[in-house]
Amino acid sequence: MKVTVVGAGAVGASCAEYIAMKNFCSEVVLVDIKEGFAEGKAMDLMQTASLNGFDTKITGTTGDYSKTAGSDVAVITSGIPRKPGMTREELIGINAGIVKDVTENLVKHSPNVIIIVVSNPMDTMAYLVHKTSGLPKNKIIGMGGALDSARFKYRLAEALGAPISDVDGMVIAAHSDTGMLPLLSKATRNGVPVTAFLSEEQQAYVVEETKVGGATLTKLLGTSAWYAPGAAVSVMVQAIACDQKKMIPCSLMLDGEYGQSDICLGVPAIIGKNGVESIVEIELSDAEKEKFATAAAAVREVNGDLKF
């Protein structure tokens, strides 16, 4: 399995590190536009190999896409992250140009690649990749739900006073502060609905803190987070590499599912060797359906700013 990670910044390097540490893939190629940066990150990571016990070969290149040829999976993290007070949507102008250009280069050298889109505003960037890459829709996967669900579980465990391994929960809809839909009604502690344990005030706290999870970190760090995003991507890449058929919420092109079409939004999906093996349609309450539709309308508005 050969994986390319475009953007060797905070998130890209974290992706490469987690992928290598899990040792399921033979080769990771880091690509960046900054001269020598990807090469440097790759060398630094490779010098952890004997310490951390992995055999994955990590190399870096300054924009030479011939080095990415034959990639099975490519992760797009190139672009600018948000600064404190910014929304993900404000990044569209710069990141759309970068993502389009990167996609063309990736597909040129790896026509069968599966692309995982990370750059923000992610749902819109995933949509852009669908419109410009020519790849079938099972091969384009936006990363948002895997991270947001991890943040949801973190907040659930905190409110419950439970270990994280006790809780399960999922976030769907948009990867934005307002459009995220943490499915509290379906969250469980060892199979028991969490609503049985948490007061309404605690439930509201968990939902709100999940939705602003990225913004909270951006305020603390001065830029967006990287450990959990990198780990979330590595889980998705592993599901593909090992054909795990793992259910992961991802931003996918919808064609009637959840009442939406021609839009990328977060929905649960089975991820395996073909990328998206299938979309899972779960029953939502009327209130959840309304929130999903509102999130879709907001993403559609942002998509309207794209120029192909």
Which residues bind to ligand NAI, rule: CB under 6 A?
6-12, 31-34, 37, 77-82, 91, 95, 98, 101-102, 118-120, 122, 143-144, 147, 175, 223-226, 229
Between 8 and 237, name the residue whose CB sits nearer to ligand NAI: 8
Q: How far apart are CA 25 and CA 36, in angstroms?
A: 24
Supply the minimum distance, in Å, between the C-beta of residue 195 and ligand NAI.
27
Q: Is 194 annotated as a binding residue?
A: no
Q: Is 95 annotated as a binding residue?
A: yes
Q: Residue 143 belongs to what H/E stretch?
A: none
CB of residue 78 to ligand NAI, shortest distance in Å = 3
Separation between Cα atoms, residue 225 and residue 213, nearest integer Å? 10
175, 186, 189, 291: the catalytic one is 175
Smallest gap from residue 60 Cβ to ligand NAI (A): 11
What is the rounded distance in angstroms from the CA atom of residue 66 to the CA atom of residue 176?
A: 34
Beta-carbon contacts of 117 under 8 Å, excluding residues fewer than 6 positions away, are 76, 99, 125, 126, 129, 140, 141, 142, 143, 251
Residue 266 and residue 284 in contact, taking contact as beta carbons nearer than 8 Å: no
Is the Cα torsion angle 18, 130, 308, 292 positive or negative in sign?
A: negative
- The residue among 18 and 203 lying less far from ligand NAI, judged by its C-beta, is 18
Cβ proximity to ligand NAI: between 116 and 160 the closer is 116
Q: Is 85 exposed, middle or buried (0-12, 13-18, 19+ CB in 10 A)?
A: exposed
11 is known to lie in a ligand binding site: yes
- Cβ nearer to ligand NAI, comparing 160 with 231: 231
Based on the residue annotation, tell me whether 175 is a catalytic residue of this protein: yes
Other beta carbons less than 10 A from residue 93's beta carbon: 9
Least distance (Å) from ligand NAI to the CB of residue 16? 11
Tally of CB atoms within 10 A around 79: 22
| Residue list for the binding site for NAD(+) | 7-12, 32, 95, 118-120
| Residue list for the binding site | 7-12, 32, 82, 88, 95, 118-120, 151
| Residue list for the binding site for substrate | 82, 88, 120, 151
Residues with a known catalytic role: 175
